[in-house]
Amino acid sequence: MKVGLFIPCYIDQFYPQVAIATLKLLEKVGCKVSYPLQQTCCGQPMANSGFEHLTGGCNENFVRNFANCDYIVSPSGSCTLHIKHHLHSANEEVATGIRSRIYELTEFLTDIVKVNTLDATFPYKVGLHQSCHGQRGLHISQMSELVAPPFSKPVQLLNLVKDLELIQLDRRDECCGFGGTFCVTEEAVSVKMGKDRVADHLRHGVNFITGVDVSCLMHMEGILKRANSNVKVKHIAEILTATI
């Protein structure tokens, strides 16, 4: 199984440990992983700001880097969703194939690899943030407002980690307020939403907040640090590879 590892630019620049944990996890479950060195931004920030017509260079670069991979996997729900819905190319047939083969990390592990055991230990109380792109775009977990059977692919994997206590929150699928460029254009609203989201975790005594999107975790981490909180954030890949 030849997997191309797609690492979003903000992970590459600010959270490289998440990229390393993702690589280790994929190799641990038997994948042959390559990292195309010429990859760069997927174009989502431009598209979200109303400039999708300027993302052609990003699209063509993505196609060049990942066209020959059996699967493309990323530790980011938002960037995965952007490629899955918005990647286009002069070679549209190749772009269509890529859109059908790109997966967010947890959905790849549960749906394609079908992981049912993990050699991981994390003896802490953990709150899960279910980010909007992953939940409502990629459907990696059920939306609580629907009268439908609940499921969560991240929870399915976290339940395999020894000694981890997954904490139940009051509003488990509420937006953290990051929203990409939303946190810049609507700063006050974004911060208030983030504070509300963090408060839910703090009320329940978590030691760590985890999720599938580092962007959301980065937003909440800033709020935690400004409050001098001892609660930390960790991407789910870091927990699934933990051997504490």
When pLDDT is cut at 50, 70 and 90, the band that residue 89 belongs to is: very high
Q: How many domains does the chain have?
A: 2
Q: Which amino acid is at 78?
A: S
Say whether both 105 and 132 belong to one domain. Answer: no
Say whether both 131 and 228 belong to one domain. Answer: yes
Higher-pLDDT residue of 49 and 140 is 140
Question: Does 119 map to a domain?
Answer: no
Of the listed ranges 27-31, 64-68, 166-170, 171-175, the least confidently predicted one is 171-175
Q: What is the mean pLDDT of the chain?
A: 95
Say whether both 102 and 144 belong to one domain. Answer: no
Say whether both 56 and 132 belong to one domain. Answer: no
Rounded alpha-carbon distances, angstroms, from residue 68 to 63, 90, 95: 9, 16, 11
- pLDDT the model gives residue 180: 75
- 228's CB contacts (< 8 A; 6+ apart) are none
Domain span at residue 204? 125-240
Say whether both 6 and 108 belong to one domain. Answer: yes
Say whether both 73 and 151 belong to one domain. Answer: no
- Cα 183 from Cα 166, distance rounded (Å): 28
Say whether both 130 and 190 belong to one domain. Answer: yes
HSE of 64 in the Cβ direction (CA atoms, 13 Å)? 10
Say whether both 108 and 135 belong to one domain. Answer: no
Question: Does 83 map to a domain?
Answer: yes
Q: pLDDT of 214-229, one tens digit each? A: 999 999 999 999 999 9
Give the domain-ending residue among 61, 78, 112.
112
Say whether both 235 and 133 belong to one domain. Answer: yes
Considering the chain, what percentage of its residues have pLDDT values greater than 70?
A: 100
- pLDDT the model gives residue 177: 85
Edge-to-edge strands, sheet with 165-167: 165-167, 125-129, 208-211, 232-235
When pLDDT is cut at 50, 70 and 90, the band that residue 111 belongs to is: very high
Of 163, 179, 173, nearest to 128 by C-alpha is: 173
Question: Does 73 map to a domain?
Answer: yes
Question: Does 219 map to a domain?
Answer: yes
How many helical (H) and strand (E) elements, i.e. helices and strands, does the chain have?
13, 8
**Is residue 184 over pLDDT 90?**
no
pTM attached to this predicted model: 0.94
Q: pLDDT of 16-29, one tens digit each? A: 999 999 999 999 99
Give the domain-ending residue among 82, 112, 142.
112
Q: How deeply is 51 buried, as exposed, middle or buried, from its count of CB atoms within 10 A (0-12, 13-18, 19+)?
A: exposed
Give the domain-ending residue among 70, 87, 112.
112
Question: Does 120 map to a domain?
Answer: no
Q: Which amino acid is at 228?
A: N
Say whether both 30 and 72 belong to one domain. Answer: yes
The 3-class SS string of 128-197 reads EECCHHHHHHCCCECCCCCCCCCCEHHHHHHCCCECCEEECCCCCCCCCCCCCCHHHHCHHHHHHHHHHH
Question: Does 118 map to a domain?
Answer: no
Mean predicted confidence (pLDDT) in 36-55? 91
Question: Does 197 map to a domain?
Answer: yes
Question: Does 117 map to a domain?
Answer: no
In degrees and rounded to multiples of 5, residue 33 shows phi and psi of: -105, 135
- The Cα angle at residue 174 between residues 197 and 16, in degrees rounded to 5: 65
Say whether both 219 and 172 belong to one domain. Answer: yes
Say whether both 169 and 74 belong to one domain. Answer: no
Mean predicted confidence (pLDDT) in 105-111? 98
Q: Are 168 and 204 in contact (CB under 8 A)?
A: yes
When pLDDT is cut at 50, 70 and 90, the band that residue 152 belongs to is: very high
Q: Are 28 and 105 in contact (CB under 8 A)?
A: no
